[in-house]
Amino acid sequence: MKLLSNLLGPRQAFDGGLFLRDYKAITARRPIEWLHADGPLHIPLSVRADFPVTPVVDVGDRVIRGQRLTIPDTQAGLPVHSPISGHIARFESVWSPFDGAVPGIVIDPDGRRDAVPPVQSWADESVIGQLVEHGVVCPMSRQPLHTIIREAVRRGVSELIVNAMETEPYLTADLRTLVEDAGRVVDTTSELADALSAVRAIIAAPFRHRHVMKRLLSDAAGRMVEVAVLPDPFPQCHPHLLIKSILNREVEPGGSPLDLGVVVLPLSTVRQAAEALLDDRAVTHVLLTVAGDAVDRPGTYRVPIGMPIRRIAESIGLTGPVRQAVIGGPLTGIPMRDENAVVTIDMTAVLLFTTTEQVNPVDCIRCGWCIEDCPIGLSPPDLVRLESRATVNSIEMSHLRACIDCGLCTHVCPSQLPLSQTIKSLRDRFDGGEADRETGRR
């Protein structure tokens, strides 16, 4: 029976999804490496373009690692800290892949390792205070963690799910964290569950990499934290599907997990929170998977915020010129958009490829692969057909809203049609008109 469950894995809890070839063989075995700043860092002044901040340093000042560079002007904002010790060279605009050109600060490293000592006063500070102090952000949704917790506490939460699934190809940052830092993940998860006053705290981990889970399981033994080892078809890592798989509840189209009293946090947030809560250190470095066939030495690297991606590529080594640069996973990431983009706090991966996909779309042949693989149960060809329509009815609108933009339909389409891109643009097009007629929600 054990052999059988080892071979077959746990039962898949949602229809659709696809077991992708994951290209993690090399990177999953490489330990996390530090990538030190060997040149000026270009740090955005604010973690998000819409958070106003005030700089507290001036040109020529010497700063040390962990020292504040800016303080937020609003309650939702976050401070930004210096990742290295060095001198402020100048203020100039830097390119963030998410926000475009934003005001930034350039620090020249002075080669020393001075850092702000941990305050060790954590007994008398609240978790939320610590999170604000050290600038913890939730990647992808790009929301500061303390605002997520405040909102969640206000609406009431029963479950906290930590998402360590990482089912997209190439990405290994979460996997390496589980291998090297499983105990800290468990500790931080229970701290966050306390702060949320959640009834259950669950860490979702992929069955494909179950051999590294043994340590996680032994660390979690006897704790309040449960470990759910799930089958890992893409996109099991999406919050809605995690809730479906673990709790068998369904988020309604366009809704959020909070509607069901569930908070889903990516492991990268927990990783940042661990630094803030356990080490009392500001978040100044991010864990980046640098992979793709253009990268000579792919792996997981701890990179200071503000390091130009070009410098990362040069210090790791390239096998050839990069023809496609992606921030995030190969199915859901965003394009790099500018050659001089820098590492920001909400990045988890940089993928550099020597090829772009050459697509040559032909007519739909009605093979049904997209329908079979859609994790939500949508029919992408039917939705794409709405393109010629001026209005949509409420059912079609909720279908458009239910799409989670996983990109799987485009990925598998043998006719190479841009299905997910079209669905996304249709949702943007119709969402405006629909919002007025509905009850003003969203």
Partner 1 sequence: MSQPNWIAGPQSLLGAPPYRLAGNTHNHILRAWLGAASIIAACGVVIFGLRVLEVLAGAVGGALLTNAVVALVTGKKITDQALRATLTGVLLALTLPALTSWPIALFGAVVSILIGQCLFQGWLQPALVGRIVTQAAFPGFLSVGGSMLLSPVLTPGHMIFGDIEDTERIVDYRGWLESQESTTHDAYLIQKPVRTLRQFAQNQVKPNADLRYTPLLRDLLPPWSDTVFGVVPGGIGETCTVMLVIVGLYLIHRGYLRWQLPLTVIASAALTVSILPVEVANDYRWFPALEVEQGRAVGLAYVLFHLTTGQIMLTAFLLAGDVVASPMRAHGQIIYAAFIGALSIFMRLYGVLEGECYWSVLIMNLFVGTINRQLRRPVLGMEPPSDD
Binding site for partner 1 (CB under 8 A): 14-16, 169, 240-241, 244, 248-253, 255, 310, 313-314, 318, 321-326, 330-339, 351, 353, 356-357, 359-360, 362, 365-368, 371-372, 374-379, 398-399, 402, 405, 407-408, 410-416, 418, 420-421
Cα 138 to chain centroid, rounded: 7
* Least distance between partner 1 and beta carbon 364 (Å): 9
Residues 6+ apart with CB under 8 A from 204: 161, 162, 163, 164, 165, 228, 230, 242, 245, 246
Closest CA to 80 of 55, 98, 61: 55
* Least distance between partner 1 and beta carbon 414 (Å): 5
* Least distance between partner 1 and beta carbon 392 (Å): 15
Pick between residue 321 and residue 440 the one whose CB is nearest to partner 1. 321
Cα 152 to chain centroid, rounded: 19
* Least distance between partner 1 and beta carbon 360 (Å): 8
Contact 109, 307 (CB under 8 A): no
Residues 6+ apart with CB under 8 A from 207: 9, 10, 229, 230, 231, 232
For 360, the 3-state DSSP assignment is coil
* Least distance between partner 1 and beta carbon 160 (Å): 21
Pick between residue 60 and residue 321 the one whose CB is nearest to partner 1. 321
Pick between residue 89 and residue 371 the one whose CB is nearest to partner 1. 371
Edge-to-edge, what's the strand order for the sheet holding 80-81? Answer: 53-55, 68-72, 80-81
Residue spans of alpha helices (H) in 324-393:
369-373, 380-384
**Per-residue CA distances from 61 to 58, 170, 196, 438 (Å):** 6, 40, 39, 54
Name residue 22's amino acid.
D
* Least distance between partner 1 and beta carbon 93 (Å): 17
Pick between residue 99 and residue 250 the one whose CB is nearest to partner 1. 250
**Per-residue CA distances from 381 to 368, 410, 415 (Å):** 9, 11, 11
Edge-to-edge, what's the strand order for the sheet holding 86-96? Answer: 41-44, 100-109, 86-96, 62-63
* Least distance between partner 1 and beta carbon 262 (Å): 13
Pick between residue 228 and residue 270 the one whose CB is nearest to partner 1. 228
The CA radius of gyration of the chain, in Å to the nearest whole number, is 22
Strands 262-266 vs 53-55: parallel, antiparallel or unpaired: unpaired
* Least distance between partner 1 and beta carbon 9 (Å): 18
DSSP type of residue 27: G
* Least distance between partner 1 and beta carbon 190 (Å): 29
The CA-based angle 399-405-407, given to 5 degrees, is 115
Pick between residue 71 and residue 334 the one whose CB is nearest to partner 1. 334
For 119, the 3-state DSSP assignment is coil
Residue 235 preceded by cis peptide, ω within 30:
yes
* Least distance between partner 1 and beta carbon 274 (Å): 29
Pick between residue 168 and residue 187 the one whose CB is nearest to partner 1. 168
Pick between residue 18 and residue 274 the one whose CB is nearest to partner 1. 18
Pick between residue 126 and residue 393 the one whose CB is nearest to partner 1. 393
Pick between residue 103 and residue 253 the one whose CB is nearest to partner 1. 253
* Least distance between partner 1 and beta carbon 354 (Å): 8
Pick between residue 124 and residue 357 the one whose CB is nearest to partner 1. 357
CB-CB neighbours of 19 under 10 Å: 14
Pick between residue 79 and residue 139 the one whose CB is nearest to partner 1. 139
Full 3-state SS string of 64-89: CECCEEEEECCCCCCCEECCCCEEEE
* Least distance between partner 1 and beta carbon 383 (Å): 11
The CA-based angle 234-239-241, given to 5 degrees, is 55
